[in-house]
Structure 1
Amino acid sequence: MSVYERLGLPHSWRFLTHYTVLQSDFEEGAPFIGLWERWKRDPARPQRLHVVALTRTLIDAQALRTRLRAQILPEQHALVEQLVAQWPLNLPGTHRLDFEGMAVTLTLVVGPVELTLPRLAVWVDAVLFSDLVPHLYGVHDRVWHDALVRIARDPAQVLLALPDGQTIRGCHDQDPAKFVRSPTDRMVQQFQVDPRLRHALVVGAGIAGAGIAHALALRGWRVQVLDVRQRRTQQHGGHLAAALTPMVTRDDDVRARLSRAGSLRAQARWSHVGQDVLWRCGALQLQRVSGRIVDLAALADGLGFPSEWVRYVEPAEASEIAGISLNRGGLYFPTAARIRPETLIDVLLETPNIERLDVHVERFTRRNGQWEVMDANGEVVAAAPQLILACAMGAQGLLRRSQLLESGERLAGMHALGGEITLLPQEALVGGPRCIVSGDGYVLPAVQGHCIVGSSYVHGAQVIEPSLEGALDNIARASSLLGQPKLPATLNDTLAANTAGWAGWRAVLPGRLPAVGPWVQAEGLWVAAGFASRGLTWSSLAGDLIAAALSGEPLPLERDIMDKISQT
Structure 2
Amino acid sequence: MRLAYSKVSNILDINKELLLSYHVFIVGNKLPWKWQFKDRFTICQTSFNNGLDFLVTWETWKNDINRCSHLHYVVLESSSYCKTYLRNIYCNLPTKLLSYADSLLCKLPNYYPGIYRLEFEHCNLTLTLFLGVKHVLSKEIVARFNAYFLSHPTAEEREYFKKIVLNLSKLGAKESTISIIKRDDYILNILYEIGFKIYIENTSVRDLYRIVGVWSRIWSSEYSPLIRNNKKIVIIGAGLSGVGIAHALSIRGIESNIIDIDITGDSHIGHLGASLSPSISVDNNILSRLVRLGMEQAWSRWSNLMPKAFLDRCGSLQLDIKFKNDKIFDLINNDSLLSNLYRYVDRIEASNIAGIGVSSGGIFCKNSMVVSPRILINRILKLSKINVIQQFITKLDKKEDKWIIFGKDGKQLASADILILANSYNSLSLLNSIKSQHSLIDLFKARRVLGEVALIKDIDLQGGPNCILEGQCYILPSKNGYCIVGGTYLSDFRNDLLVKKSRLDNLSNLADSLNATHNIYHKHISYWHGERMVLPNRIPMIGNVVDNNNLFLAIGYASRGLCWSSLGGDIIASQICGEPLLIEKQMMTILKPR
When normalised by structure 1's length, the TM-score is 0.90
Report if the CA contact (8 A) 1:287-1:294 is conserved.
Answer: no
Distance 2:85 2:434 in 1: 55
Q: What is the deviation of 1:438?
A: 0.1
Report if the CA contact (8 A) 1:221-1:353 is conserved.
Answer: yes
Structure 1 residue corresponding to 2:60, chosen from 33, 38, 54:
38
Q: What is the deviation of 1:34?
A: 0.4
Q: What is the deviation of 1:407?
A: 6.7
User: SS in structure 1 opposite 2:509?
Assistant: helix
**Mapped pair 1:281 → 2:307:** no
Superimposed CA distance per residue, residues 450-475 of structure 1 (whole angstroms, 9 cap, x where no aligned partner): 11101012145568999544332221
Partner residue of 1:167? 212
Give, as a single letter, the amino acid of the residue that structure 2 aligns with 1:458: L
Structure 2 residue corresponding to 1:24, chosen from 32, 46, 52:
46
Partner residue of 1:537? 563
Q: What is the deviation of 1:95?
A: 0.9
How has the CA–CA distance of structure 1 residues 11 and 391 changed in structure 2, closer, same or farther, with 3 Å as cutoff? same
Give, as a single letter, the amino acid of the residue that structure 2 aligns with 1:490: I
**Mapped pair 1:490 → 2:534:** no
Partner residue of 2:472? 440
Partner residue of 2:582? 556
User: SS in structure 2 opposite 1:125?
Assistant: strand
Partner residue of 2:254? 221
Partner residue of 2:528? 502
**Mapped pair 1:519 → 2:551:** no
Structure 2 residue corresponding to 1:417, chosen from 441, 446, 449:
449
**Mapped pair 1:112 → 2:159:** no
Report if the CA contact (8 A) 2:135-2:161 is conserved.
Answer: no
Report if the CA contact (8 A) 2:264-2:374 is conserved.
Answer: no
Structure 1 residue corresponding to 2:167, chosen from 141, 147, 150:
147
Report if the CA contact (8 A) 1:29-1:68 is conserved.
Answer: no
Give, as a single letter, the amino acid of the residue that structure 2 aligns with 1:169: V
Report if the CA contact (8 A) 1:89-1:306 is conserved.
Answer: no
Give, as a single letter, the amino acid of the residue that structure 2 aligns with 1:28: N
How has the CA–CA distance of structure 1 residues 512 and 189 changed in structure 2, closer, same or farther, with 3 Å as cutoff? same
How has the CA–CA distance of structure 1 residues 310 and 102 changed in structure 2, closer, same or farther, with 3 Å as cutoff? same
Partner residue of 1:194? 228
Partner residue of 2:158? 138
How has the CA–CA distance of structure 1 residues 191 and 122 changed in structure 2, closer, same or farther, with 3 Å as cutoff? same
1:261-300 equivalence runs, <5 A:
261-272=293-304, 273-288=306-321, 292-300=324-332
Report if the CA contact (8 A) 2:472-2:513 is conserved.
Answer: yes
When normalised by structure 2's length, the TM-score is 0.86
User: SS in structure 1 opposite 2:57?
Assistant: helix
**Mapped pair 1:374 → 2:395:** no
Partner residue of 2:187? none
Report if the CA contact (8 A) 2:150-2:180 is conserved.
Answer: yes
**Mapped pair 1:358 → 2:390:** yes
Partner residue of 2:371? 339
Give, as a single letter, the amino acid of the residue that structure 1 aligns with 2:172: A
Q: What is the deviation of 1:6?
A: 2.4
Partner residue of 1:180? none
Give, as a single letter, the amino acid of the residue that structure 2 aligns with 1:566: K
User: SS in structure 2 opposite 1:523?
Assistant: strand
**Mapped pair 1:52 → 2:74:** yes
How has the CA–CA distance of structure 1 residues 131 and 149 changed in structure 2, closer, same or farther, with 3 Å as cutoff? closer
Structure 1 gap ranges (5+): 178-184
How has the CA–CA distance of structure 1 residues 294 and 345 changed in structure 2, closer, same or farther, with 3 Å as cutoff? farther
Distance 2:481 2:493 in 1: 31
User: SS in structure 1 opposite 2:333?
Assistant: helix
How has the CA–CA distance of structure 1 residues 107 and 465 changed in structure 2, closer, same or farther, with 3 Å as cutoff? farther
**Mapped pair 1:10 → 2:36:** no
Give, as a single letter, the amino acid of the residue that structure 2 aligns with 1:356: V
Q: What is the deviation of 1:238?
A: 1.4
Q: What is the deviation of 1:247?
A: 1.3
Report if the CA contact (8 A) 2:317-2:362 is conserved.
Answer: yes
How has the CA–CA distance of structure 1 residues 192 and 390 changed in structure 2, closer, same or farther, with 3 Å as cutoff? closer
Distance 1:490 1:34 in 2: 63
Structure 2 residue corresponding to 1:238, chosen from 261, 265, 270:
270
Superimposed CA distance per residue, residues 255-293 of structure 1 (whole angstroms, 9 cap, x where no aligned partner): 11111111111111111111111101100001127x844
- How big is the alpha-carbon RMSD for the aligned residues of Structure 1 and Structure 2? 2.4
Report if the CA contact (8 A) 1:286-1:329 is conserved.
Answer: yes
Superimposed CA distance per residue, residues 166-198 of structure 1 (whole angstroms, 9 cap, x where no aligned partner): 1122265xx845xxxxxxx7xx8251622522x
Distance 1:464 1:558 in 2: 45
Report if the CA contact (8 A) 2:350-2:362 is conserved.
Answer: yes
User: SS in structure 1 opposite 2:437?
Assistant: coil
Partner residue of 1:456? 488
User: SS in structure 1 opposite 2:91?
Assistant: helix
The aligned length equals 544
Report if the CA contact (8 A) 1:287-1:296 is conserved.
Answer: no
User: SS in structure 1 opposite 2:566?
Assistant: helix
Partner residue of 1:257? 289
Give, as a single letter, the amino acid of the residue that structure 1 aligns with 2:137: T
Report if the CA contact (8 A) 1:296-1:330 is conserved.
Answer: no
Report if the CA contact (8 A) 1:17-1:48 is conserved.
Answer: yes
Superimposed CA distance per residue, residues 56-102 of structure 1 (whole angstroms, 9 cap, x where no aligned partner): 255344432321332x3211111111212222232221111112222
Distance 1:567 1:546 in 2: 12
The percentage of counterpart residues that share the same residue type is 29
How has the CA–CA distance of structure 1 residues 108 and 464 changed in structure 2, closer, same or farther, with 3 Å as cutoff? farther
How has the CA–CA distance of structure 1 residues 16 and 355 changed in structure 2, closer, same or farther, with 3 Å as cutoff? closer
